[in-house]
Amino acid sequence: MKNRIYIFDTTLRDGEQSPGASMDENAKVQMALQLDRMGVDIIEAGFPIASQQEFEGVIRVAKIVQNSHVAGLARALNKDIERAAAALQHAKKPVLHTFLATSDIHLEYKLKMSRDQVIDTVGKAVSLAKSLLPRVEFSAEDATRSDRDFLAQVVETAIGAGADVINLPDTVGYTTPDEIREMFRYVIAQAKGAEDVIFSTHNHNDLGLAVANALAAIQGGARQVECTVNGIGERAGNTSLEEVVMAMNTRQDQFPYECGIVTTEIVPSSNLLSMITGLIVPFNKPIVGRNAFAHESGIHQHGMLANAKTYEIMTPASVGHKRTDLVLGKHSGRAGLAKRSSELGFELNEEEVGRLYERFIELADKKKEVYSDDLRMLIVAMYSKAFEVYQLEKLRTFGEDPTVAMVKLKHGDEVITETALGDGPVDAACVAIEKIVGHTGKLEQFNLRAATPGKDAFGEAHVTVRFENKVYRGNGASTDIVEAAIHAYLNAMNKHIAFLQSQEINGDS
């Protein structure tokens, strides 16, 4: 369909490569369900060859997604392709995505391959992928810095071998809108069989041009955009899904194409990803930021009162901005809790509903009103169990100058209590945790915010902690901001411990 733009979401793969933004299997499943609800055409679930956890995560996403295609990434190597195909075998609509670099700088310094070797490898890789799964995408890594005639030759080879989608990525965020528009036009005109496949664009944001380049690529003939929620990804990130979708939606005069995204699910998707990863959405982020529809200027406010179109080119409701509504009370039952969780995109089994209900009742005893975001945070916290080597059982702080903290942690069947002095309750509690666990971290970033309305708001804490030479993000939530901060610090600590344990298991320590 030449008038349809397909949305290929790589939040779970390329987006997860944001420093500190790794997701466990459960987090990937919940985010995939939300992406499916939002109507993305393809969900890239991961890179199956990377690790056993990544392989199993792709399998779980492939099994649970009902509407979207599910893609797995593979290098142009037989072992990668076979592993990806195995992970995708349960998907209703699988896509095997394989890639190889085509720029001279990659050929010389990374691949150590000649152009003829690249062409031969691409043909064999795509042929193998096509023999294993019905839909194959080939990406020419670093396409925007590749010789265009050679790029067209590689693309023609991939098409001849059976590729259904050709991706020409701006891997390092180097190109400009004019350049990428002309690159797509040239390759599509030169490569034999180009009219029979879909061309895709994948852009990084190193120069702040990812969205502009994606829109220019569409003008050049691309009909698939690869992007991430909130624009997360390596370095400066990827094309922002919400920005490119709403640009097309708002400027139909310039981009008269269909797009299957349910735009009212954009903000809920953004919020869920932020909760899962701990990556806070900047207030001034287009579309999904807290200030995206805020008007402080008196002139703006006057215009808004007269007619909202004076200063708003889209409505807050069109992207899912709304006050979080009251969901349930402390007397609500498990069935109502399960139903509301499902409405928020979380499909829970009976045992998970039981665990959530216990946490919900505990929160409902503290808060008079429980909001949708409260419930989301409870569920996300419940799913973070994969990293919970140590669990916070009890926290008490006393006095000031210095503050004394008493911390009780559960480690398996063992409960360990420790006290420590510190410069304030958070510092004292962190020192106590470090005494129990035996690892010391350096707190590099610490952010607190209210996630829901009211004086008894659920406080959300996000921290960045450095352990030795690795950095981890942690998040936590509680009606008590000190407790939220400690949950976040312990979450980061647990990730570090889980990493060390995995290194020991793999013999890499």
CATH number of the CATH domain containing 404? 3.30.160.270
Q: Answer whether residue 284 is part of any domain.
A: no
pLDDT of 337 over the 60 cut = yes
Same domain, 171 and 263: yes
**Angle 502-506-509 from CA coordinates, rounded to 5°:** 80
> What SS3 string covers 112-160?
CCCHHHHHHHHHHHHHHHHHHCCCEEEEEECHHHCCHHHHHHHHHHHHH
Q: Answer whether residue 185 is part of any domain.
A: yes
Same domain, 83 and 183: yes
Give the E-state strand segments of 332-378 in sequence order: 370-371
pLDDT of 343 over the 90 cut = no
What's the pLDDT at 384? 60
User: For residues 413 and 390, is the Cβ–Cβ distance under 8 A?
Assistant: no
- As a whole number of angstroms, the distance between CA 500 and CA 509 comes to 8
Better pLDDT: 388 or 285? 285
Same domain, 54 and 138: yes
**Strand duo 414-422 + 403-411: pairing:** antiparallel
What lies within 8 Å, CB to CB, of 470 at 6+ separation is 496, 499
Label residue 462 by pLDDT band (50, 70, 90): confident
**Strand duo 470-478 + 6-9: pairing:** unpaired
Same domain, 190 and 337: no
- DSSP state, residue 22: -
Label residue 308 by pLDDT band (50, 70, 90): low
pLDDT of 149 over the 50 cut = yes
Among 229-243, 386-400, 439-453, the range with the most confident prediction by mean pLDDT is 229-243
Task: Dump pLDDT digits (tens) for 466-481.
Answer: 998 888 888 888 888 8
Same domain, 339 and 242: no
What's the pLDDT at 304? 45
DSSP for 471-487, written as a single string: EEEEEEEESSHHHHHHH
189-193 contacts: CB < 8 A, separation 24 or more?
Answer: 190/148, 190/149, 190/152, 190/156, 191/152, 191/153, 191/155, 191/156, 191/159, 191/166, 192/156, 192/159, 192/160, 193/156, 193/159, 193/160
Same domain, 105 and 203: yes
Residue that is written with structure tokens 């993305």 in the block: 40
What's the pLDDT at 301? 44
**Strand duo 403-411 + 442-450: pairing:** unpaired
What is the distance in angstroms between the CA of the first residue and the CA of the last residue of the chain?
52
Q: How far is CA 350 from the centre of its chain?
A: 27
Q: How many residues does the chain have?
A: 509
Q: What are phi and psi of 223, to 5 degrees?
A: -125, 10
- As a whole number of angstroms, the distance between CA 151 and CA 8 comes to 22
What's the pLDDT at 387? 54
Q: What are phi and psi of 190, to 5 degrees?
A: -90, -35
pLDDT of 458 over the 80 cut = no
Same domain, 102 and 217: yes
Task: Dump pLDDT digits (tens) for 177-220.
Answer: 999 999 999 999 999 999 999 999 999 999 999 999 999 999 99
Same domain, 182 and 303: no
Q: What are phi and psi of 327, to 5 degrees?
A: -110, -60
- Owning domain of residue 158: 6-277
CB atoms near residue 25 (< 10 Å)? 18
What's the pLDDT at 306? 60
What's the pLDDT at 209? 98
Q: Answer whether residue 283 is part of any domain.
A: no
pTM: 0.82
Label residue 299 by pLDDT band (50, 70, 90): very low
- As a whole number of angstroms, the distance between CA 103 and CA 188 comes to 18
Same domain, 92 and 208: yes
Same domain, 79 and 148: yes
Tokens for 150?
């050679």
What's the pLDDT at 173? 98
- As a whole number of angstroms, the distance between CA 244 and CA 288 comes to 12
Mean pLDDT value of segment 288-293: 85
Task: Label residue 142 left, alpha or beta by phi (over 0 means left) and psi (-120 to 50 means alpha).
Answer: left
Same domain, 157 and 267: yes
What's the pLDDT at 328? 74
Q: Answer whether residue 25 is part of any domain.
A: yes
The total number of structural domains in the chain stands at 4
Same domain, 418 and 335: no
